[in-house]
Structure 1
Amino acid sequence: MCKACDYTIHGHQSHFGWDNSLVPAERVAPGSTILFHCHDSSAGQLGPGSVLQDVIDLDFGKINPVSGPIYVEGAEPGDALKITLDSFAPSGWGWTANIPGFGLLADQFKDPALIVWEYDAQTMAPAMWGSQARVPLKPFTGTIGNALAEPGHHSVVPPRRVGGNLDIRDMGVGTTLYLPIEVAGALFSVGDTHAAQGDGEVCGTAIESPMDVVLTLDLVKGANLRTPRFTTAGPVTRHLDAKGYEVTTGIGPDLMAGARDAVANMIDLLCATRGMSAVEAYMLCSTCGDLRISEVVDAPSWVVSFYFPRCVFE
């Protein structure tokens, strides 16, 4: 157990959906620091020795487990839960997959694919992708949220107004996240830890990696947030910026179409300049490339850009 932690939530204290009738794993006072043992998003169905068939055989009823829920004493609807992300203890391995039917370009990439990563959990040195690429690592939690007011079971996959599967890369050490509370106690859970991800997570997976997460929970009374907000402790792309970027664009009246075009154009560029297969380029983009809305004011066309960090190849 973390010496500075008030509670530990073990891996078996997890669930696969938001449900405000779940029995809390713990009841804690505001200001408590908690250690969570978080599964990877496959709930252990994929591991260091996994092969392609394991992707094909995935049970999608056991995807994105979250550890918890935590009942925070005094939390009431209309308050905000203040979450300070204190530390991550990575496992040293992870996986990235193309899962048929999932991802920004699912209509173009219909076959399963899998990459299993190893990395140094102590130094967090960039993770090797074969002999060509080294992806800088930045641990964070992909799924972090409170229970919804609506009764019943709700899928953990889509993001929601109370958090959930946000997949925001900047939910790393030092970030303070504020989540709307809709039920007494908040019923907070966390999981889906990643070793690295690009903004957009374009193929649908990052470097999915089990980790221990330490965070502190507090309350902001009467905050009346409509959606999550967060504050970062400093720069958010320093781990990628050193060598600049290759950038492709998508231009037109539809932002989603622009995003698809920008990513597809980067895949074409990586295939042409690096000799990669298209699905390899797609998965690599998901772990370290960033989708950005460059402008939405020059009607009738908007610009979406995809930034791929040159440091991955240098």
Structure 2
Amino acid sequence: MCSNCDYTIHGAHHHFGWDRSIPPVERVAPGSTVYFECLDSGAGHFKPGSTVADVGTLDFSKVNPVTGPIHIDGAEPGDALKITFEAFEPSGFGWTANIPGFGLLADQFKDPALTLWSYDKTTMAPAAFSKNGKVPLKPFCGEIGVAPAEAGRHSIVPPRRVGGNLDIRDLTAGTVLYLPIEVEGGLFSVGDTHAAQGDGEVCGTAIESQMNVALKFELIKGANLHMPRFTTSGPVTNHLDAKGYEVTTGIGPDLMSGARDAVSGMIDLLGKQYGLFAEEAYMLCSVCGDLRISEIVDMPNWVVSFYFPRVVFE
């Protein structure tokens, strides 16, 4: 529990879609700090004893549950909600899966795969992978947002102007996020907590891990923000930079094709250098490798690069 928090929102208060008609479970004043009990993206489907067979029984209508919503007093359309990530309380267990039909290379990886993670929730030391890999951890919220103005239920899976499934790994402790408000009270919810993720989350899952999170809420009146923005409190890559990177590229007139080529090249490289099965390399790329647009002006071809941190195996 959070001793400095003004409110607690229990995990039982969760939902699976963005909808302005969902009644708030709490009303909070600006300046309040709220403790959210968040579920992982599988809503607890995977457990320490799970096997790859459990991937096939995952109910996709119940993925990415978000805890909430809460009503922020005084919040009106045109305002911005300022959210400061105060602290994370990890569980020590996580999972990564290749879910058939989902992910950047879904056409190449058609069979289910599952990796289970156990990590020290106190020290947050790098989590063991395979025989000699260790993945640095960085807890963050993948799904975070307020209700859209448009009536009806909206899928929890895609990101949108008011937040949602942003999957930005830098939304971690110390970061300040700003979201545009479209409905009275904002109706804020959060979930899909991760222990680590690479930029791109290429296989579709990160180290999915149940966590609780403390967030402070403030209002910026009349901000007229068009899209989410955020400010980090310091460097965002130094936990991975220590040993440098292996980098593969994709070059051509389409950024999506370039991204696929860069990731495919890294999967092949990791297999050759470290003896990983392709499915292992794919999932590992998703939890700690970074897709970057290296060049987007020298027409007709653009360059996408995939950075894999050497510290994982050294």
- TM bucket by the smaller chain? over 0.9
Amino acid at match of 1:291: L
2:236 is matched with which residue? 236
Tell me what 2:10 maps to. 10
The alignment partner of 1:263 has SS state of helix
Counterpart of 1:210 in structure 2 is 210
* 2: CA distance, partners of 1:67 / 1:50: 24
Cα RMSD for the two superposed structures: 0.5
Aligned position for 2:81: 81
Q: Which residue of 2 aligns with 1:174?
A: 174
Q: Which runs of 4+ in 1 moved over 3 A?
A: none
Aligned equivalents of 1:132 and 1:225: distance in 2? 46
> For residues 48 and 81 of structure 1, what CA distance do their matches in structure 2 show?
37
1:190-240 Cα shifts (integer Å, max 9, x gaps): 000000000000000000000010010110000111110000000001110
Written as runs of structure 1 = structure 2, the 5 A alignment for 1:1-314 is 1-314=1-314
One-letter amino acid of the counterpart of residue 301, structure 1: N
Structure 2 alignment gaps of length 5 or more: none
Q: CA deviation at 1:2?
A: 1.1
Provide the rounded CA distance (Å) in 2 between the counterparts of 1:287 and 1:186.
Answer: 31
Superimposed CA distance per residue, residues 92-111 of structure 1 (whole angstroms, 9 cap, x where no aligned partner): 01000000000000000000
What is the one-letter code of the residue matched to 1:233? S
The structural deviation recorded for 1:130 is: 2.1
Shift of residue 46, structure 1, vs aligned partner: 1.0
Q: In the TM superposition, what is the alpha-carbon distance from 1:132 to its structure 2 partner?
A: 2.0
Deviations 1:29-83 (A, max 9, x none): 0011000000000001111211111111011111000000010000000000000
Per-residue CA deviations over 1:118-164 (Å, capped at 9, x if unaligned) read 00000000000121210000000000000000111111100000000
Distance 2:289 2:226 in 1: 29
**What is the SS of the residue equivalent to 1:239?**
coil
**CA-CA distance at 1:3 after TM superposition:** 1.1
Q: Which secondary structure does the structure 1 equivalent of 2:23 belong to?
A: coil
Q: The residue matched to 1:238 in structure 2 has which SS?
A: coil
TM-score, length of structure 1 as denominator length: 0.99
Matched pairs, number: 314
Identity of aligned residues (%): 73
- State the alpha-carbon separation in 2 of the partners of residues 290 and 177 from structure 1: 21
Return the letter of the residue paired with 1:169.
R
